[in-house]
């Protein structure tokens, strides 16, 4: 379904903007409590999820086989190249909405196989990206780095103009 691909590309473009504004030092800074993770580790994690989709073998997507390339976590240019590769693959992706996949994942009790469609997996990847953007937004605030996107890290279904204590 083209709308899911377009939504994924649109969401991932926020990474492009972010990487062009960050220094390598900020990308790998893991000083923000309570989890002490870096922006780069979250960006790499997001891109690894998509990479697993494109690395499928016989309609089996193994989400436990992520690349985890530290260079993509620590170097904005490497991360940008990885991002551009993922977006390029998304733009070329053709599939039927009901294309079935087996996704291998570990939900905390060991590896399991889960039936998916390509559409549902891409929709999950997009939501997963937004979830990590929320964490990145928290890290940006901890590092005192502003981002000029008031939708960054918010799901499109999140109500707007909510005041505190409501």
Give the three-class secondary structure for 153: coil
pLDDT in tens, 18-58: 999 999 999 999 999 999 999 999 999 999 999 999 999 99
pLDDT in tens, 48-74: 999 999 999 999 999 999 999 999 999
pLDDT in tens, 83-135: 999 999 999 998 887 899 999 999 999 999 999 999 999 999 999 999 999 99
pLDDT at residue 42, rounded to an integer: 99
Q: Which residues are CB-contacts of 146 (< 8 A; sequence separation ≥ 6)?
A: 140
Domain segments of the chain: what residues? 2-142
Q: Are strands 100-106 and 60-62 parallel, antiparallel or unpaired?
A: parallel
Strand partners for 104: 62, 113
Nearest to 154 by CA among 14, 3, 6, 4: 14
pLDDT at residue 164, rounded to an integer: 46
Does the structure show a pLDDT above 90 at 136? Answer: yes
Give the three-class secondary structure for 127: helix
Specify whether domain 2-142 bears CATH 3.90.1150.10. no
């Amino acid at each position: 379904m083209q709308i899911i691909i377009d939504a994924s590309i649109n969401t991932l473009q926020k990474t492009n903007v972010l990487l062009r504004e960050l220094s390598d030092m900020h990308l790998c800074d893991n000083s923000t409590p309570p989890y002490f993770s870096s922006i780069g580790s979250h960006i790499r994690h997001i891109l690894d999820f998509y990479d697993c989709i494109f690395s499928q073998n016989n309609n089996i997507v193994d989400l436990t086989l992520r690349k985890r390339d530290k260079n993509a976590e620590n170097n904005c240019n490497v991360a940008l190249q990885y991002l551009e590769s993922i977006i390029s693959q998304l733009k070329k992706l053709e599939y039927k909405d009901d294309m079935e996949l087996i996704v291998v994942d570990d939900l905390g009790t060991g590896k399991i196989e889960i039936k998916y469609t390509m559409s549902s997996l891409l929709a999950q990847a997009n939501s997963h990206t937004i979830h990590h953007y929320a964490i990145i937004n928290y890290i940006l605030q901890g590092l005192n780095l502003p981002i000029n996107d008031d939708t960054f890290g918010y799901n499109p279904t999140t109500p707007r103009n909510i005041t505190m204590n409501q």
